[in-house]
Structures are given as structure tokens and as C-alpha cells.
Structure 1
Amino acid sequence: MRAITRKTLRDLRRQWAQAVAVGVTVLLGVMLFIASAGAFRNLDDSYQRTYERLRFADLIATGGDADKVAAAARDAGAVGVTVRTQVDPPMLIEGTKLIGRVVGLPISGQPAVDAVALDHGTYLGADDPDGVLVESHAADTYDLAPGDALQVYAGSGWQTVKVRGIVRSAEYLWPARNRQDVLGDPHAFAVVFADEDLVRRLNGGVPNQVLLRLPAGTDQGAVAAALRTAGATDVTNQADQASNATLHEDLNGFSELSVAFPLLFLTAAAVAAYVLLARKVLAERSVIGTLMAAGARRSRLVRHYLQQGLLIGLFGGVCGAVLGTALTGPLTRGYTGALGIPDTVTRSAHGDLIAIGVAFAALIGLVGAAVPAVTAARTIPAEAMRNETASRPPGRWSHLVAAARWLPVTARMALRDVSRNLRRTLATMLGVVLALILVLTSIGMLTSLSDAISRQYGQIERQDATVSVAAGAGDRLSSVPGVSAAEPIRVGRVTAVLRDRSYATTLTGFRTDTQMHRFVTVDGKTISLPDNGFLAGRGLADSLHVKVGQVVTLTTATASTRLHLVGLLDEPVGTAIYTSDSEAARLLPDSAVSTYLVRFGSGVDRDAMRRTMTALPGVVAYADAVAVTASLDQFLGLFWAFVGTMVVLGAVLAAVIMYVTLAVNIVERTNELATLRAAGVPMRRVAGTIATENLAATTLGLPIGVAAGLLAARAFLGSFSSDLFTFRLTFGWWVVPAAVVAVLAAATLSQWPAVRAVRRLDIARVVRERSR
């Protein structure tokens, strides 16, 4: 082993605790990067494998003459076309009434587009025309198995069908009714697949959807335009399909977090490595000067200190790569298992990610060591061998502190030292800033999501349940004990069109004096529903490039009209359209089922109310508004776990940076502290001086860290916003004070190793070396 390598290893052993702390910071960053980025790739590959195996549609055309639209699809080059019928009738499953969905399948075999994967039972057969296949999420919710029965409302009454099998569908990997109803009561939506002829009877004998797959490289925009020309009222591409869009919304946000948060750890590691080695160079000035006076080349000194940074970085990088690779598989399986993804790709070792992680870790070590290494090479031997540093005249801050006679001497010394060594102070401040960015970003995302849920399902949507009833049965709802109000609404699908842009969403018609929905504009004003015109979620502005006051065409299956956009609403979930009940009546087709929003009195047992409501004659569906939170928790399960981990690791990061900074301060100031101890200054005062200086530097970094943390949290939330979800940064009153107290506590606890180091100083040796 070469002498320079032996010295490098010996130096690292002498400061093993600080070196390990820096290495652990690198380890955490690399581990998080490889585990999360690898899991992201696995999840995306899992989705794509399922989509390919089940021939997931590239485009879905709704409305118009299905045969003409299908012909247009074939003329446009589609390699697979399926014509089918889809309806959303009331259902009765295991005593629960809901609005479900029945999708047509050919009884002869799997369709060319959007096939289903059979988990249990058998496929549809001509020997059982009333048999159905139940989508797996609904089967899990209601504990259905082949041989069980359920009922579908056919307008004239309930029709009993038998479950032949349990299936998974690429369209319903996440059971979303549409893009505006991706989160809801899991007992309020179920998908079943039935013989196409049976579904057409439910829909009046007319197919209403055309699904197609296109060759790679096809201009989907041109094909969609051809389908609309052929009569389709709405064309949805794969990226905008409700289930796929919802899953990728979660996945894309996770992808951004998987890079940004590890980068914070690696940046912190670079700072810690710089602090460690810079102060090591300063502490070893006399040794460096002696070596250079003896003829040591500057390049060898540079390599020596770069080697220390490189070894620390490689230690953290290799260990982080091993742990990150080990975590990739379990993280992937946990997510796909929770969502019921049929295909799980669990490739743990992603060679490029491992190479990037280890290379970046090595680079972090080199970057952190670069400045100290160059500083060592520029050392003037004569000055260094005297072990003295050039003194600067006291500045304005020093004069100001010296004039504060009311402060103890140790406090004045500590406050003076804050400006005496700006690099030391700035390094401490930067550590505080990075720790606060991580902690405030993580907590801010948690509190903002909680606030969004509270606003959407407590302040904006003010109903406790949504009840669908047969015509004439709505009057019974108000008389149910525990019901304080019941209000009819009209709900249906609508497509908003402006020039060459369109957006399919949900249209809800309320009374203009409704008490069930609060309309809050993007500027925070509460407005009433207009008699003429419509209100829409703010996402419509991005989708259509529309401004308030412009006229937009609203098209449904039976009608079309042009209305003014009266206002854009600040609603966290979805991008819906709202009109008065009279406008909705003109647009939406007549239905044998009416929908009511119901509000309960205080203290009502919600489970008992569900049983009471669904037992009423004429009630065909019931959805609990509160149950949406369970669905949301499942959707954001990976997000909650990741951010929760970041909160914990943020505290660890703060403690590590504080520890490295303070511990190395002791190394840098060995002579000064030993002189104080030799002069008889009590240990308590020496420790107080160190603590005061470091807490002062920490305090200086707090305002910058809080501001940077707020900006980072806002940027992260913005990356999650789309037409599906719109978040605003919201902190509880306690968050910032708690984060500040946590960082100060970490800084305070980090004093303990530093004080121990002072107690263990060999005062005689230090003074003897100083006198040479």
C-alpha cells in the first residue's frame, strides 16, 4: 500500500465518527434514489406489461353512430377496433345499492381491444346469457365469488345476474368512474362485464363506444379528428383515460420526489464533506507546511485530500446502492399488491441507476474535498510551520459585540467568532437551510393534502351522502329520521369545446340557492350559481385555454348549447362544470333515476343511515361522502409512506449536519480551546462559548431555511397539480415553529459530542506543540 493511501486511511480513522456521519448522509441519498427511481421504473413497466397483454385502447370514441365511427377508425389505420356498449345503471350487491357500470363483451371470446384477465371462474358463455364477470376491485369490496348473484336495474325493474368470473381490466386498474370521480366511496361504484347483447338491451339496443389500437408512431390527434368528423362526441386518448391518468398522476409525482429528495441529501453530504476536510486542512497546516518544505509535491497533497473525499463518497455510495437495490423489489410489490396490478415487474438491479448513484456519490465526495485540497496545495510553508494564521482587524460586528458589556465574556467571544470565520458560519447556516427544506417540504405536502381533503369534502361539498332514487321516490328522503336536508341535482357527462380543444367532464345542475355546494373562485370569493352561464374548476382554463367571460360549447349525448364561463373555481379535486338546474335539464337526457344530495343531523350513525336509506322503496343507489377518505388513502399510499420517511430522515439529516459541523469546529479550534483550558477557564464556560457560537450561526440560518423550505414545498405541490388535483400550500400554525424548534434541538444535542471532545483534549500536548 502506498504511503499516501496509508495516511488517508489513518486520517479517516482518527475522525471516523465524522467520516461515517458524512458517509451515512451519502448512503441515504443514494439509497433513496436507487430504491425510489427503481421502483418507479418497475411500476411503469408493470403498467405497460398489463396494457400490452390486455390490448389497452389507444383511443376511446364515445357517441355518434358507432358503425360510422368504427369505419373511420379502420380507414385511419387502426390495427384493432372494438364496438361496444357501456351503461351506468343502478345495482344491488349484497344489500348495497349503488350506481355501477356494465360493459359489453363479445360472448364468443375476448375483444380485439381492452380484453380482460380472468382471475377466477370462467369467461362469458352462450349457455349462460345472463352471466357476468365482476371487476376485481368490486369483487374484493363485496367479497364476491363465482356463483354469487347481483341485481342490475333495467328501468322497468331489477334483473338478477349470476357471477361467472372475477376479472382484471386495464381500464380499471384504479376503479375510476371518470376523471372527475377518481376518488369515492368504494361501495358506490362497481364494474361488471356482460354479453354485449344484454348490455344493449339495457341501453335501448344502441352501441355507444368505439375502442381502437393504433400502430406505433401514428398521429393520434389526426385520428381523433377523423373520429369526431365521423360523429363521435368525445374522443379520449390513453393518457387521459381516467384510471391510467390517475395512476400516472401518482406515479409522476413519486418520480419527481424520487430525484429531488435524494438530491437534497447528496447536497448536504457535499457540504458536510467540505466542512470536514476544510477544517482538517486548517488543523493540519503545520504538518502540510513541513511536508511542502521537505519537498512534497503539491499534486500529492491535492490527491491526498481528494482521496479522503472520494473514499467517503464511495463508502456511502456502495452501501446505499446495496440497500437501495434490496428495497426496490419490496417497494414495487407493496404498491402493485395494494392496487391489484395484474403484472408486477420486480427487477431489483437497474445497472444504470446503480452506476449513476455510485458515480454521483463519488462526485459528491470529490466536490466536497476539492476546495480543501486546493487550499492545502496553496499553503505557504513558512507561515504554516509557525502554525499561525493571518489576523484581521476587528470589524464593525466585533466592535458592536465588544461594546455589549452587559453580556458575559464567553457570550461576547462566541458572538464575535460568528463573523470571524465566515466560512464556518456559512457552512453551519447551509446545513440548517438544507435540513429545513427537507422537513418543511415533507410536512408541507402532508398538511396541504390534508387541507385539500378537508376543503373538498367538508367546505365545498357539504352533503353527507348521495342517493339515487326511482322517479317519484325522492320525497321520502326528507322524512327519514336523522336527515336534516335533501336536495335534488342533475348529473351527467358533458364535453366542453372551444375552437379545436375539448374536455370531457361531469356536469352537475344545482338549484341556484343550493346549500349542498359552496362555490369559491380562484381569488377566494364565494359566489352564487348563475341562472345563465356556468362555473368550472380552474383546470378547464389550462385544458381549453379559456378565460372568464368567453363562450364555450357544452355538448351532451342529446343536446348542445353555448354558454358563458362565469367563473373559475378553486376546487382541489377534479375539474367539474356546474350550471343551474334549469340549464342542466336542457342539456342532459331524461333519466328514470333522480339524484339527491342529503345532509345528516349531528350524531347520526352513518352505517345505520346507509342501511336505512338503502332499505327505502325506490332507492336504487347510495354513496357515503365520508368514505372517500379511505379511497384517497389507498391512492396516496406510496406517497404517504415516502413523505413520512422524508420527515424522519429530515430530522436525521439535520442532526448529522449539525454534528459534523460542530465536531469539526472543535478540531479547527483545538489550540484556542486548549489555551483557554490551560489558562484556567472552567469547562462550563468553554462549552458555553462553543454552544453560543454554534446556536447563533444556526439561528442566522433559520429565516433563510424557512423561506427556502416554503418555496420548495410550493414547487413540489405545483408538480402534483393537474386537472385531477389542484393543491395550494397550507401549513398549520404549528409547523414552522415546530420545524425551527426541531432544528435548534438537533443543534443543541449535537453539542454533546463536541463538549466530550473538549474534555478529552490533551492540554499539555497542544500547548507544547503550540510553543514550538
Structure 2
Amino acid sequence: TRRPRSLGAVGRLALPLLLIVVALSAWTTIDRFHSSPERMGLPTALGVRADTSLGDLATRALLERDPQVAAAYPGVEVAALVPGQTATIALRGLGTHREPYPFTLAEGRAARGPDEAVAGQGLLDLLHVRVGDWVRMTVGDQPQILHIVGRSIEPENAGRVISTSLDTLRANDPDLRPSLYQLRLHPGADPDAVAARLATAGRGHLDVHTVANPADGLSPLRAVVLGLIAILALIGLIELLTAIGGTVREGERDLLALKAIGLSPRQITAVTVTATAGTALGAVLLAMAVGLPLAHWLIDAQGRSSGIGAGIAQGPSPVLLLLLGTAAVLGAAALAALPAARAARHRLADTLSAVA
């Protein structure tokens, strides 16, 4: 008769813990956009547009002269039309075959050969294609046929972006010249400070701007996540107190038997505390086992629907999960200690009347 109640207590306590794991995963994903943008589709921190008066070699030399600039990738971005669609997509040519642009890939491989490209999830959904297909588009009056060999994480333009190397676009249009440059900075560099120095060094010939991070608009959600975690923790605390009360009441029925076999009140208390801690441990394990895959699925589904694409979900660190589980188990044991000790010291007559 106790097993269904024990399983029910584990399930009720696991639910708020599961939702806390999902909330922590959302927090970690948002934080990863800031701490590791190169893993979230933002390998460069600055974008530069140069006047036509500056040549490609002079512009790259000026940009790479800054000690905090690790690499400058020349590129172009044009609007392209695809068959059956009235809206345009973004066709980008970034980097060269000798210095390829470090796209963040979630599927497939990098575009290395001629006519190879990577595309965002939004473009794949728009054209109803997948990695491995060929797509045809028109830039002005020039046709362009590309082989999609990978899916990149694209935070811009709702993912409706197809990217290849600048050399591939030049093969179709030899007169094509870079119109923008993407700058990868050394770790720890301040993008605003580098942008100010480059603008001064360019003497009005460079338009330098920081690359927009989609997580900047999600920063207020951190307060919402914190509030949600606090509410879920309160719900979990209430469920835990309910489970402790049930365990103590059930322990009173066994009190006569436990005292008859010679257990002291301290040992009887340890039995109840261990039972409560075991219930909390089972709830923690269930929450971790279900919550982590659920969080990844929910976050990737949101990324897929927004066009960024799946592959952005990040789970909490093992240390944080261990702290959460340890706090839940130790907290359950600590909360159960006092009522269990009181129940273990009941007089024999009180125990007989409670059983009756």
C-alpha cells in the first residue's frame, strides 16, 4: 500500500525540479550567446564597410594592423531571388578558399570546394530543401547554382541566408569586389574599443559597427527565469513538506515494531530521514533524466521555428546540476529531521492511540 504513495511523492516532487532544470537550461543558452558567441553562430565581433576609394589589400592591411584583430574576412552580401518565392534571401560570400570563414555548423560540413555553400535553417525551410541538395537563385540577371553541404547556425535574417566563399561568387562574376569585412578579435578584446580605434585609423573611410547579438534582447528574460525558479522552488518545498508529513505519519505506525526490536529514538529518526532523502534523491534523478532532454528539445524547437536552427541548446554545467541535486537531498533530510525526532520520542500510549 505504501509503494503507490511513494511513487506519487517522487513524481510530485520531480515535477518542479524538472521545470527548474528546463529554466536553468534556458538561462545557460542565453548566457552562452554572450560568453561563447563563436559557438552560437557569431564567430566575428565587428563588421566593417569601406569606401570604394580604398582597395581590398589596403583595407585588409589597415584592419589587421590593429593588435586586437585576429583575422579580417572579406565578403559581400547581396539579395537573391529563388524560384517560386517573391521575397529575397541573403546570399553571402565570406572568406576565401585560403582563409575560410569560420561558420558555426550544426549539420553537414564546411563549404570547401567550388559551388559549395552552407545555409541557415530558415532558408532550408523556405525552399523545402535539406543538406545535400542543389539550389538555384538569381542575383540581378546572373544565375547562381550552389550545392548545400552544411547547415549553419544563422542568427541574422531569420536564418534565410545561404553562405559560400568569396572565391565561389567571383568565379561567376570576376569583377566582384569585397564590400564588407568581418573581424574576428583576440580573446578578451573589447569590441567597442577596437571599433573606435579602427574608425580613427580609417579617417572617415571605414564604417565600423559591432555585430548584433540576438541574446541582447533576451537579457530581461533572465529576471523572469530567476522569478520562475524561485516560484518552482517554493512549490517544490511545499511538496517536500507534504511528503515529509506523510512519511512521519506512516512511520508512527511502525514505531512500536521499531522500538520492540531495540532501536533507539535516534535510530528511528534516522530511518525516517533516510526514507525522505531517498524520496528526494529519486525525484532528483527523475528530474535530471527527463528534464535535460526536454529542455534541449524545447530550446532547439524554438531555434528551428525562429530560423536560427537547432543546435543552440546548452544544458547547465554538471557542477550546477550536482549542486541542485545535493541541495534538494540535503534540504529534504534537514527538514525531515525535526518532525521525525519528535515522532520518535512519542510516549508508548500516544503511539498506541495513534495506531488505533
Q: How does 1:432-451 map to 2 (within 5 A)?
A: 432-451=13-32
Which residue of 2 is the match for residue 544 of structure 1?
Answer: 127
- Of 471, 484, 505, 2:89 maps to 505
Q: CA deviation at 1:484?
A: 4.1
Which residue number corresponds to residue 532 of structure 1? 115
Work out which of the residue numbers 138, 141, 147 in structure 2 matches 1:555: 138
Does the aligned pair in 2 maintain the 1:491–1:508 contact within 8 Å?
yes
| Matching residue within 180, 192, 198 for 1:613 | 198
2:235 maps to 1:650: no
How many angstroms does 1:449 deviate by?
A: 3.3
1:495 aligns with 2:81: yes
Query: Would you say 1:622 and 2:208 are equivalent positions?
Result: yes
Report the 3-state secondary structure (helix = DSSP H, G, I; strand = E; otherwise coil) of the residue aligned with 1:442.
helix
- Distance in 2, Cα, partners of 1:765 & 1:733: 47
Gaps of 5+ in 2: none
Letter in 2 for 1:487: Y
Matched, 1:580 2:165: yes
Q: Which residue of 2 is the match for residue 248 of structure 1?
A: none
Q: Residue 537 of structure 1 contacts residue 570 of structure 1 at CA under 8 Å; is this kept in 2?
A: yes
The amino acid that maps onto 2:76 is R
Verify the 8 A CA contact 1:539 1:723 in the aligned structure 2: yes
Q: CA 1:542 to 1:484, structure 2 compared with 1: closer, same or farther past 3 Å?
A: closer
Map Cα deviations across residues 586-606 of structure 1 (whole Å, 9 max, x no partner).
Answer: 789989983122344566554
Aligned residue for 2:28, secondary structure, equals helix
Structure 1 pair 520/454, CA: closer, same or farther in 2 (3 Å)? farther
Q: CA deviation at 1:756?
A: 5.3
Q: Secondary structure at the match of 2:148?
A: strand
2:72 maps to a residue whose letter is: A
Change (3 A) 1:541 1:485: closer
TM-score, normalised via structure 2 length: 0.81
Instruction: Provide closer, same or farther for how the CA distance between residues 445 and 769 of structure 1 changes in structure 2, counting only shifts above 3 A.
Output: closer
The Cα of 1:537 is off from its aligned counterpart by: 1.5
Larger radius of gyration: 1
- Relative distance call for 1:461 and 1:713 in structure 2 (3 A) is closer
> Aligned in 2, Cα 1:620/1:640: closer, same or farther, shift over 3 Å?
same
Aligned-partner SS, 1:750: helix
Question: What amino acid does structure 1 have at the position aligned with 2:82?
Answer: A
**Structure 1 residue 768: deviation in Å?**
4.8
Root-mean-square deviation (CA, aligned residues, Å) is 3.4
Q: How does 1:621-770 map to 2 (within 5 A)?
A: 621-625=207-211, 628-629=212-213, 632-633=215-216, 635-673=217-255, 676=258, 681-721=263-303, 722-728=305-311, 729-731=313-315, 732-755=317-340, 757-758=342-343, 761=346, 763-768=348-353
* Displacement of 1:469: 1.0
1:316-348 CA distance string (max 9 Å, x none)? xxxxxxxxxxxxxxxxxxxxxxxxxxxxxxxxx
Q: Distance in 2 between matches of 1:484 and 1:452?
A: 20
Does structure 2 retain, via aligned residues, the 8 Å contact 1:466–1:624?
yes
- Displacement of 1:622: 0.6
Counterpart of 1:463 (choices 44, 49, 70) is 44
Distance 1:758 1:486, change over 3 A: same
C-alpha distance in 2, partners of 1:743/1:457? 35
CA distance in 2 between counterparts of 1:570 and 1:751 reads: 51
Contact 1:449 1:727 (8 Å CA) reproduced: no
- Quick one: higher RCO (CA 8 Å, sep 6+), 1 or 2? 2
**Following the alignment from structure 2 to structure 1, what is the Cα–Cα distance between the partners of residues 7 and 28?**
31
How far apart in 2 are the matches of 1:567 and 1:636? 31
Rounded to whole Å, the distance in 2 between the matches of 1:685 and 1:543 is 67
User: Aligned partners of 1:660 and 1:602: how far apart in 2?
Assistant: 50
Q: How many residues align?
A: 343
The whole-number CA distance in structure 1 between the counterparts of 2:210 and 2:344 is 65
CA contact (8 A) 1:484 1:600 kept: yes
Are residues 740 and 459 of structure 1, via their aligned partners in 2, closer, same or farther at CA, if it must alter by over 3 Å?
A: same
Q: 1:516 to 1:472 in 2, by over 3 A?
A: farther
CA shift in 2, pair 1:430/1:599, >3 Å: closer
What letter is aligned with 2:323? A
Asked whether the equivalents of residues 38 and 104 of structure 2 are also in contact (C-alpha less than 8 Å), the reply is no
* One-letter amino acid matched to 1:561: P
Indicate yes or no: 2:10 matched with 1:429. Answer: yes
Greater mean deviation of Cα atoms: 456-465 or 702-711 = 456-465
Q: Which residue of 2 aligns with 1:226?
A: none
Counterpart position of 1:73: none
Are the counterparts in 1 of residues 48 and 182 from structure 2 also a CA contact under 8 Å?
yes
* Distance across 2 between alignment mates of 1:555 and 1:437: 49
SS in 1 for 2:49: strand
Paired letter, 1:421: R
- Distance between the aligned counterparts of 1:754 and 1:588, measured in 2? 80
- Following superposition, the deviation at residue 690 of structure 1 comes to 0.5
Shift of 1:694: 2.3
Stretches of structure 1 that go unaligned for 5 or more consecutive residues are 1-419
Q: After alignment, is 444-453 or 656-665 more displaced? A: 444-453
- Shift in CA distance, 488/678, structure 1 to aligned 2, threshold 3 Å: same
TM-score (structure 1 length as normaliser): 0.40
Seen in structure 2, the aligned counterparts of structure 1 residues 572 and 650 have a Cα distance that, compared at 3 Å, is farther
Q: Tell me, what secondary structure is at the counterpart of 1:467?
A: strand
Aligned residue for 1:531, secondary structure, equals: coil
TM-fit CA distance, 1:697: 3.2
- State the shift of 1:751 in Å: 0.7
- Give the deviation of 1:542 after TM superposition: 1.9
Query: 1:39-118 to 2 correspondence within 5 Å?
Result: none
Percent of aligned pairs sharing the same letter? 18
In structure 2, relative to structure 1, the CA distance for the partners of 1:638 and 1:598 (3 Å cut) is closer
Question: Any idea what the Cα deviations from partners look like across 1:429-473, whole Å, max 9, x if unmatched?
Answer: 213321331121111122233335555435754333211111242
Q: 1:568 aligns with which of 150, 153, 165?
A: 150
